Amino acid sequence: MSETFVVVGGDAAGMSAASKARREDPDLDVVVFEKGDWVSYAACGMPYYVKGDVDSLDDLVQVTPDEFRTERDIDLRTNHEVVGIDPEARTVTVAADDDRFEQPYDQLLVATGARAIEPPFDGMGLEGVFTIHDMDEADAIHTHVTESHPETAAIVGGGYVGIEMAEALASRGLDVHLFEMLPHVLQPFGESVAEVVEDHLRDRGVELHLDTPVEGFGGEDNVTAVDLESGTVPADIVVVGVGVEPNAELAADAGIEVGETGAIATDEYGRTNYETVFAAGDCAEATNVVTGEPDHVPLALTANRSGRAIGQTVTGTPTPVGGTAGTAIVKAFDLGAARTGILDESRAREAGFDPVSVEITAPTRAHYYPGAEELTVTLVADRDSERVLGASVVGREGVKRIDTVATALHSGLTVPDVEQLDLAYAPPFSPVWDPVATAARVLSGSLERPE
């Protein structure tokens, strides 16, 4: 009799695991329960659907439910919600169509993802107030903009989603106000990146309200204003993007251990405190490659990679899920910003490092080649070990250079190692000294101790 691998959640981690397990072991019964309609979709593309760069929500779907069922032979059941897990009996309780049933498993993956944080603001239930973390929410915003024709938008939160939605709605012709309770947007990217992005947002017509907590939203049935301590700002549509939190309650209720981050605790193979239960994606912790400690960084590649690894592990080839450096990149109109590792010096000190940093600005191409733009690079390292700890970059082109530093973090490279990397050079693509190598060269001087 074949074994059964049950997956709870049908997005990046869940479907990557199911697909890999099916390829590795054609005799394995693979059952996926997804409580909604959508599976295997590109959540990162939703702001661009709202903007109009993506024609249809269906364009964001990588593999359709029918393709999973017919081409990959996966027993995918949409609109089936797992409401309970019994790790001792190795069963899950599933609710669907006003019915409940028990599904046995031999191995289980919890891939329940994360949800948008909904602050306890007055007026969150008003028409025209949205969060954006799933396809239905993206569709609702798109429909509201298209059919209700709002004129003024309020974005609450200056993180990735806030910046991308500010661009999306401004590009649709709305007057956009962005509210951030901290002194700067993109807090994990560092102050120098934030200031460049803020100036660019203002140049593109976005009105920033920094260091400005929101108290709620006004209106009777439809939202009409954002309420602040200092007064109100008119708004016909509000998008709240203040972060996400892991959907870990299902696991916690079953006695599956949840870490200090609030996400499900796992080992290097994605296994929980139960031998036959795994967790991956936005609901699970991962190991930070800089600190070596558990971290919760909900990003698409982390979810896909960990799901694929677990799909191999459950079919007999133990495969580590890999660590996270928190590498991220965001587009703000004509500007790009990216970060990886630890940039905050206080956090670096808490992790036991003695941080040293430099900030340089260098051209993205040879100075004489047309189209060169300035790229600002901040590089952080530990003084004692000279190990690279993190970096940020901001500019109109070349921000994918952050991947060089991410590679250095995963490899444990030092600043001199990065300085000596044999990076590609041709005038249309880079100066002789790539901006990342230039930053490493400058930082090497700062790391030198006097005799």
Q: Where in the sequence numbering do the catalytic residues fall?
A: 44
CA 242 to chain centre: 13
Q: Is 275 left (phi over 0), alpha (psi -120 to 50) or beta?
A: alpha
Answer yes or no: are the C-beta atoms of 431 and 368 closer than 8 Å.
no
The span from the CA of 232 to the CA of 226, in Å, is 5
DSSP string, 239-304: EE---EEE--HHHHHTT--B-TTSSBP--TTSB-SSTTEEE-GGGB-EEBTTT-SEE----HHHHH
Tokens coding 409: 């973090």
Contacts of 243 (CB under 8 A, 6+ apart): 116, 117, 157, 159
Tell me which amino acid residue 260 is: E
Answer yes or no: are the C-beta atoms of 196 and 334 closer than 8 Å.
no
229 three-class SS: coil
* Residue 147: exposure state from Cβ atoms within 10 A (0-12, 13-18, ≥19): exposed
Answer yes or no: are the C-beta atoms of 268 and 277 closer than 8 Å.
no
Contacts of 387 (CB under 8 A, 6+ apart): 381, 412, 413, 414, 415
